[in-house]
Amino acid sequence: MRILLLFACLALLWIYRFFPGGAIDGTLWEVKVRPDVFFALSRRDTLLFQNGRMTSLKFASEGFLPARYKMTSFQEEKSGSWNVVFDRAKQETVEWRGAVEGDRMRGLVLWRRPDGKVRRFTFRGVRKPT
């Protein structure tokens, strides 16, 4: 009986590890990312959620590779929240936290630099047709 329970737990872990993320998997989003300061200009970025991983095209061009995201869905998967952390050499990370409602998305980006400084951004965007 214990062996059966062990195999069931291992199967669930395998499913969690290798299957795609959630309701936003397979979608593309056009967002405007803005530094969280009084006067700043926003820049455009494209977010791709594919096979349980998220890619930011702007941050990918700076060396941050796609990373696995975690999704929590609400209201029959029409809305939810997600987060992902990208790592780069020298202890540098970019953390995205977002909320989805229908075809709209908004959230926060925290860029932690190797020197300990944290740059904070907000973003808003819409789903692009694929």
| Alpha carbon distance 32, 116 (integer Å) | 25
- Sole residue written with tokens 């214990």: 2
Predicted TM-score (pTM) above 0.85 = no
Domain range annotation of the chain? 19-128
| Alpha carbon distance 96, 56 (integer Å) | 10
Say what percent of the chain tops pLDDT 90: 62
- Mean of the per-residue pLDDT values for the chain? 85
Q: Which of 114, 105, 108 is nearest to 87 (CA)?
A: 114
Token representation of residue 51: 């096979």
* Dihedral sign, Cα of residue 80, residue 32, residue 109, residue 128: positive
Token representation of residue 31: 């967002």
| Alpha carbon distance 32, 43 (integer Å) | 5
What is the reported pLDDT for 16? 44
pLDDT digits (tens, 9 = 90+) for 100-114: 999 999 999 999 999
- From the options 1.10.3470, 2.60.40, 3.40.50, 2.40.160, give the CATH code of 19-128: 2.40.160
- Given a contact cutoff of 8 angstroms between Cβ atoms, the answer to whether 71 and 23 are in contact is yes
pLDDT digits (tens, 9 = 90+) for 39-78: 889 999 999 999 999 999 999 999 899 999 999 887 666 7
